[in-house]
Chain A
Amino acid sequence: MKKRTVISFLLLSVLTVMFIVISVLAGSADISPSDIINILFGGGSDETSAMILLKIRLPRTLAAAVLGGALALSGYMLQTYFHNPIAGPFVLGISSGARLTVAIALILAARGAIVLNSALMAAVAFFGALIAMSAVLLMSSRIRSMSLLVVCGVMIGYICTAITDIIVNFADDSDIVNLRGWSVGTFSGFKTESLVVCTVIIFAALTAVFFLSKPISAYQLGESYAVDMGVNIKAVRIAMILLSSLLSGCVAAFAGPVTFVGIAVPFLVKMLFGTAKPIVMIPACFLGGAVFCIISDIIARTVISPSELGISTVTSVLGAPVVLMIMLRKNKDNVRD
């Protein structure tokens, strides 16, 4: 491995651990580092602190880490798939598709028609993400321009969001208590069960993606080169679609809309590592997404404490300028070509 790769991985790992600690320490209730060690490794401590730490702060921090990683990874896969640096689960409407089906499922569950557990919720979100993804794929076969594809994705997102709004409006207030907070996106309120389900799904997907890093590297060069290298291009395409939908669906189901992470993080990570090789980018994007979302979450819950900002508010402020930068760079490249 190159020196730069090793140093960058070390840096990201240190940042991840550092911000997990900061995130656990930050909040209105004062919990000191020694309290945390006592609570985690069994020592005397008061029960309120233990409650806050184990039931609120730790799950929230871990959720931000795991879901943030999933978002960045799914963004990276979509960018590779479409050969488009500004593709991402949110701009392509995939997150909105997942939210639509989850909203329907939540209302059905509230009416007692179905019993919704975390695994089923993830499945429903995956299904919704796939529907939106199919719509994007249908259009992508007719569109050559990168920016137009993104515009189409945004439209698909709007359509899904509009339908979600209509359904929510027709639902009883009691049906949608869950939906309201979730429509702005947040990493709070994770039950242990949901967190476990999420983590299992996401780490399984991460492993699968990592094992695909070789064919993805061939795909990156362009389709004809992948064929020249002996890759079964159809299988790789399907695998990439399924895995990126699973990852972004999972996030949309449990945290709601979290914008720009999927585009900004892969770009920043690529700049940090100085390479676009999948075998490096896949784990690096995951770590990068984790750091990015933990930081965003810390900001979201501390700047206007005791109130809280939506997570997307923060990720937009941090991520949108990066996206603008990517587009300007791209233009410069086109001029040079």
Chain B
Amino acid sequence: MLEIKHLCAGYGKREIAHDISFSVNGGEILTFIGQNGSGKSTLLKTIAGQIPPLSGDMIIDGMNVSEMKRNNVAKLVSAMLTDRPKTDMMTCRDVVETGRYPYTGTFGLLGDADKKAVADAMEMTDSAELADCFFSEISDGQKQRVMLARAVCREPKILLLDEPTSFLDIHYKLTFLEMLDRLRKERNIAVVMSLHETELAEKISDKVMLLKNGICTGIGKPSELLDRRKLTEHFDISDELFEKYHG
């Protein structure tokens, strides 16, 4: 589904992630694990088209992204980013509807199929009852669900999420991941995301990629990569410190 080949990512001349390769199939979750500044966000932003890749190829269903129209890429890939949208006087339904943008015509008006996709996505993410509330007035956990509905109503093949569970309490964290798990199975979506919570990443991911200073130091099954010895080394934590707070 999504294939990344020798991707180098960064801003202008500053290369942050070096020579990254991986592939994800439909229904799979791949999670980036790494310290702050290890290049997780930069990679996700590059795959999402927010910053141009410095070199390398991104291939979706056999098509090279660099040869595709922006609007067509948007139909296949949708991203949930860390920065919040500016939603002056927008209801949650309005916000979700913006996800259908690549499918709408000249004036961006939604057809019946679009409206159904929006309603389905809101149902699926438990945000249907928020539809008429102003987006600016709901809680962080609710916002995150609405943003997921927005990303999902596009019916993408690939979903990118940058630290989707940060700032959420344990209840919202777990229900969010449960939703994501259901979604990828039901809709066969390939998910690429970054998570800080290694214990959650281990449970939900099919593959994890360890990133350190922009270099991939390991990719594979979470059970193989996320054992204690590798984790303490990857995050530069001493055994005592790990034992005291995490063991």
Contacts and interface: CB of A to CB of B under 8 A. Distances in A.
Interface of A: 83, 211, 213-214, 217-218, 220-222, 224-225, 227-232, 270, 274-277, 279
Given A221-B85, A221-B86, A230-B69, 8 more contacts: A211-B106, A224-B50, A225-B98, A228-B78, A230-B72, A230-B73, A230-B102, A276-B89
B88 A218 contact: no
Contact of A83 (B50, B74, B86): B86
Contacts of B102: 229-230
Contacts of A213: 107-108
Contacts of B90: 276
Interface of B: 45, 48-50, 69-75, 78-79, 81, 83-90, 94, 98-99, 101-102, 104, 106-109
A224 B81 contact: yes
Contacts of B50: 224, 227-228
28 contacts: A213-B108, A214-B104, A214-B107, A214-B108, A218-B101, A220-B86, A221-B85, A221-B98, A222-B83, A222-B85, A222-B86, A224-B45, A225-B81, A225-B85, A228-B49, A228-B81, A229-B98, A229-B99, A230-B72, A230-B75, A231-B101, A232-B70, A270-B88, A274-B89, A275-B89, A276-B90, A277-B94, A279-B109
Nearest to A273: B89
A277 B90 CA distance: 8
Contacts, number: 68
A278 B69 CA distance: 25
Contacts of B106: 211, 214
Contacts of B109: 279
Contacts of A270: 88-89
Contacts of B107: 213-214, 279
9 smallest A-B Cβ distances: which pairs? A230-B74, A214-B108, A230-B71, A229-B101, A221-B85, A276-B88, A276-B89, A230-B70, A230-B102
A231 B98 contact: no
B106 to A, nearest CB: 7
A218 B85 contact: no
Contacts of A217: 98, 108
Nearest to B48: A228
B46 to A, nearest CB: 12
Contacts of A83: 86
A279 B86 contact: no
Contacts of B70: 230-232
Nearest to B95: A221
Nearest to A337: B136
A81 to B, nearest CB: 12
Nearest to B90: A276
A228 B74 contact: yes
A254 B165 CA distance: 55
B38 to A, nearest CB: 20
Contact of A227 (B48, B69, B75, B87): B48
A31 to B, nearest CB: 42
A155 to B, nearest CB: 26
A83 B85 CA distance: 11
Most A C-beta atoms less than 10 A away, residue of B50, B101, B107: B101
A214 B105 CA distance: 9
Nearest to B73: A230
Contacts of B71: 230
Nearest to A79: B88
Contacts of B79: 228
Most B C-beta atoms less than 10 A away, residue of A83, A213, A227, A277: A227
Contacts of A214: 101, 104, 106-108
A110 to B, nearest CB: 46
Contacts of A228: 48-50, 74, 78-79, 81
A221 B96 CA distance: 12
A85 to B, nearest CB: 8
A227 B104 contact: no
B109 to A, nearest CB: 8
Most A C-beta atoms less than 10 A away, residue of B69, B98, B99, B104: B98
Contacts of A232: 70
A229 B154 CA distance: 10
A276 B108 CA distance: 14
A214 B104 CA distance: 9
A213 B45 CA distance: 26
A277 B107 CA distance: 11
